Amino acid sequence: MDIGLFGGSFNPPHVAHRIVAEVVRDQFDLSEVWWIPNATPPHKPDDELVAVEHRLAMTRRVVESNPHFRICDLEVQRDGVSYMVETLRVLQDQHPDTDFALIIGSDSLDHFAEWHRPGEIAERVPLIVYKRPGGIESVAEPRFANRVRYVAAPVMEVSGTEVRARRRAGRSIRYLVPDAVRTYIDAHDLYRGAE
């Protein structure tokens, strides 16, 4: 069984996340894509990060409509900073007969060498990279190049930053996030200002 691991802050999860996950699943013939919300992302400031409970709940709403998507809340359950290498160690111990791949954006590939134990990550799993705006020409550092597979996914300008900014400005986020996420954001009055 081949599983794609799709980690992120999902602050909030938006339509580009969903499209990328499905295109990756289809192109690489993956059985499932496991969405892994970070509890405490190591590379993102927490000034706009809503509580992990909200991000997990929104991500659950994104995956529930696709039988090939699943939530993995391992990083939410673990204390401290969410390091992917630790998540991989646990998942590979728990599922020794499963082949995992890590799904990341080209912007993350640009900084992959700065991740915690990038060599071990690349040794453990191949990297499936999708293009992000601003990272279109991303090329893997030579020591990771043979572990990178590029996906032919549409480059989408939607970002969590844009969704949060539109929400703060009182503008529509319809069609930028799935309806179930928009309903959740409205119900919990998220991203209106200081959280």
Looking at domain 2-188, its CATH class is: alpha beta
User: Which residues of the chain register pLDDT less than 50?
Assistant: 136, 194-195
Task: Indicate the domain borders of the chain.
Answer: 2-188
Q: What is the pLDDT of residue 161?
A: 93
Q: What is the pLDDT of residue 110?
A: 87
β-sheet bridge partners, residue 7: 36
CA distances from 1 to 69, 100, 129 (A): 14, 8, 20
Q: What is the pLDDT of residue 145?
A: 84
Q: What is the pLDDT of residue 154?
A: 81
Q: Return d(Cα 190, Cα 2) in angstroms, integer.
A: 35
Global confidence as pTM: 0.92
Instruction: Please tell me what DSSP assigns to residue 136.
Output: T
Q: Which tens digits make up the pLDDT trace of 72-86?
A: 999 999 988 989 999
Q: What is the pLDDT of residue 195?
A: 43
